[in-house]
Amino acid sequence: MKKLLLSLLLLFIATYITNAQSISKQVIGSSGLVISNGTHTINFTVGETIVGLIQSDEAIHQGFWANMSEETTLGIETPLSNTNQISVFPNPATSFIKVSYNENANNFQTTLYDITGKQLYHIKEHAIGNETKMDISHLPGGMYLLVLKEKSSNYKQSFKIIKK
């Protein structure tokens, strides 16, 4: 009986004075980066082992480095009114993109952003007519965001542009 009580006492003391191990967020990968433009953040690593997938309306997380407790609020975009029909072509593009409006293009501001949110073009005043042509031949291949905003209201619409 003494041996049992002594064993339980030693087990209790050993459990009480020892600290468990803890693992912080660390990744052994070939590369990784955090990119932020003030409103959006992209975190990524290359070469990380896949350990799970978490998905919500705002984000997709995969791997050990995923932040599961952060809440993100995205901006709300008001689409252009139904009377303003806009066409963007060709998409994917190689040297230029055309934006065709069903009314005068001077009613719109046109802005082109790269994937990090850096503004590449901003056109406040368009030539007379209902079409705008943008030269993108000098841009590297990738995805870009074209945002059109009606000057007379808060209506705006965005288009994903793929440059080959």
R_g of the chain computed on alpha carbons: 27
Model pLDDT, residue 13: 83
- Domain extent at residue 119: 86-163
Identify whether residues 139 and 97 lie together within a single domain.
yes
Asked if residue 24 belongs to a domain, the reply is no
Identify whether residues 123 and 68 lie together within a single domain.
no
Asked if residue 49 belongs to a domain, the reply is yes
Model pLDDT, residue 109: 84
Give residues with Cβ within 8 angstroms of 42, minimum separation 6. 33, 34, 35, 36, 116
Model pLDDT, residue 163: 92
Identify whether residues 66 and 95 lie together within a single domain.
no
**What is d(CA 158, CA 110) in angstroms, rounded to the nearest whole number?**
10
Number of separate domains in the chain: 2
Asked if residue 9 belongs to a domain, the reply is no
Half-sphere exposure of 158 (CA within 13 A, CB side): 14
- Give the highest mean pLDDT range of 26-40, 56-70, 114-128, 129-143: 129-143
Identify whether residues 107 and 141 lie together within a single domain.
yes
Model pLDDT, residue 145: 92
pLDDT digits (tens, 9 = 90+) for 8-62: 888 878 777 776 666 666 666 667 777 778 777 777 777 666 555 556 666 666 6
Q: How confident is the prediction for the chain on average, in pLDDT? A: 75
Between 46 and 98, the more confident residue is 98
Asked if residue 116 belongs to a domain, the reply is yes
Residues above pLDDT 70, as percent of the chain: 63
Asked if residue 102 belongs to a domain, the reply is yes
